[in-house]
Chain A
Amino acid sequence: MQPAHDLLLLLVVLTNFWVLGTTRLSATIRATALQGALLALLPVALYPGLSLHILGLAAGTFAVKAVLLPLLLSRAIREAAVRREIEPVIGFAPSLLLGAAAVALAFSIAPRLPLPELRSQLLVPVSLSTVVIGLLILTTRSKALIQVVGYLILENGIFVFGLSQVERVPFLVEVGVLLDIFVGVFIMGIVVFHINREFDSLDSARLTELRD
């Protein structure tokens, strides 16, 4: 059977596909919350020693990525009263195919990277594909809220990559990263709220109408 961390990594990729394929904003937020929970389990599965460092990392990740950020985003949905992504720049089926292509690319590139020995062969390809899929969502969806989700997924990919080096990276850096995202999403939430109030819509294409 596969080790637990490999299954977790595969589920992370599946949540990426879920976000790519769904039209409902609430479903994408649920998917990112699930992905956050998976990422919180990941350090525990990768480094089974139950050290304070790892447990703190898992708890912090769970609190921020699986609870706090999804709550903030659902609140933003409620206030802005948007339900679905209607017109993405690239349609849902093509973006699923692009996502699959990104995964294939990541899996073909990852073995060639000169990296020190890793706990799991899947860590690097999964992190690369998550980054690319996050970027894809960030750039091709028109609603500002789902762009925030894309940013979160992008960051989750970086987090997975960071996990491969967790023995070398001090705890403080991890905390700093978590705090950065938190502040980032917080600011984005405020911006989204203002866009909505100003234009009665979350369509970021309409930001070109900004004048001073």
Chain B
Amino acid sequence: MRELPLSPLLTLLLLLGLAPALPGIANRTKSALTGRRGAPVLQLYWDLAKLWRKGVVYSRTTTLLFRLAPMVLLATAVLAGSLLPLDGRAALLSFPGDLVAFAGLLALGRFLLVLAAMDTGSSFEGMGASREATIAAFAEPALFLCFTVLVLATGRLQLSAMLGAPLLAAWGPAGPSLALGAASLFVVSLAEACRVPVDDPLTHLELTMVHEVMVLDHSGPDLALILYAGAVKLALFASLLLAIVLPRSAQSPLLAVGELLLGVLAVAALIGAVEAVMARWRLNRVPQLLVAASALSGFALILLLS
């Protein structure tokens, strides 16, 4: 099956192209379930195109950091995507321990975004940055516990070696642990993608926004980069979740890619359904949710070790 060396790259490009549709799908599902029509699915594409044509306004208090952050954010998200074996067989980049790099790259992007928010000197953005950092600090342990569960269940240290046949084999003996890990990862992806119980992407009140308030000062192409990076991050977590729940092993590449794209859309619809039945939680209860996610994957870990 070596006839398609381009397959990882092509899959990544397809996923990157599809990414802006995911928030649209999530919002559309939410609207449909709550009896509204909602924005078009492709709304984010139009938004990105519109923002791309606009000029940029930089505040005089900002420094180079502020201009750098959107690019780094998108670059780290795409790089993290190249670590995932999207077609179920191979990733673009792969080395032992690359799952730590995956988490680290996403953390680096967020770190720069937080710094950029503080760079503006706006008190609102500082508040948003502090909230984002708090949530991230609680989401990270849960993510790493999930990864530990995956490593222990499959005995591999490489994302591309792990998410495929070994994981499929591990579902037999370690099924409950993997299911708990997947549930915990779903909560983490809600937090990472700034979706409802953690953060409401549709709110426009500075006091309640978390992610949105951090990017208030970004405009034009910079804002487009940030919005797009957010969509890419959602796509990455959706495909990681999909790879755990439905491990794809030896299929034809075409089938695997089709399954990936459909599955990612399904995860987005699932997120929309969650948003339809839940309200955003009070900020001081969000850590509780993420600690519960950590406890779930911690329990999965205990099951694997016992």
Contacts and interface: CB of A to CB of B under 8 A. Distances in A.
Interface of A: 1-2, 6-7, 10, 13-14, 17, 21, 92-93, 96-97, 99-100, 103-104, 107-108, 110-111, 121, 125
B172 A100 contact: no
B298 A125 contact: no
Given A1-B172, A10-B176, A21 B292 contact: yes
A7 B303 CA distance: 12
15 contacts: A6-B176, A17-B295, A21-B292, A21-B295, A93-B288, A96-B291, A97-B291, A97-B295, A100-B295, A100-B299, A103-B298, A107-B302, A107-B303, A107-B305, A107-B306
B221 interface: no
Contacts of A96: 288, 291-292, 295
Interface in B59-113: none
Given A93-B288, A103-B298, A103-B302, 9 more contacts: A1-B175, A10-B303, A13-B299, A17-B292, A96-B295, A97-B295, A100-B298, A104-B298, A125-B306
Contacts of A103: 298-299, 302
B287 interface: yes
Given A2-B175, A97-B295, A104 B288 contact: no
B296 interface: yes
The binding surface of chain B is classed by DSSP as helix
Among A93, A96, A97, which residue has the most Cβ atoms of chain B within 10 A?
A: A93
Contacts of A104: 298, 302
- The 6 A-B pairs at the shortest CB distance, nearest first, are namely A93-B291, A100-B295, A107-B306, A100-B298, A93-B288, A96-B295
B296 A17 contact: yes
Contacts of B288: 21, 92-93, 96
B287 to A, nearest CB: 6
A110 B285 CA distance: 33
Among B175, B285, B287, B299, which residue has the most Cβ atoms of chain A within 10 A?
A: B299
A21 B296 CA distance: 11
A157 to B, nearest CB: 16
Nearest to A21: B292
Contacts of A93: 287-288, 291
B139 to A, nearest CB: 13
Interface in B275-306: 285, 287-288, 291-292, 294-296, 298-299, 302-303, 305-306
B299 to A, nearest CB: 6
A13 B292 CA distance: 13
Nearest to B173: A2
Nearest to A98: B295
A99 B285 CA distance: 18
A99 B295 CA distance: 8
Contacts of A14: 296, 299
A2 B176 contact: yes
Contacts of A13: 299
A17 B288 CA distance: 12
Contacts of A99: 295
A19 to B, nearest CB: 12
Contacts of B303: 10, 107
Contacts of A97: 291, 294-295
A107 B299 CA distance: 10
Contacts of B296: 14, 17
Contacts of A10: 176, 303
A190 B50 CA distance: 67
Nearest to B291: A93
A29 B175 CA distance: 29
Contacts of B298: 100, 103-104
Nearest to A99: B295
B295 A7 contact: no
Given A21-B288, A93-B287, A111 B299 contact: no
A203 B291 CA distance: 26
A160 B306 CA distance: 19
A42 B226 CA distance: 51
A6 B302 CA distance: 14
A2 B295 CA distance: 21
Contacts of A121: 306
Nearest to B292: A21
Interface string B156-186: 0000000000000000100110000000000
Contacts of B302: 103-104, 107
A111 B176 contact: no
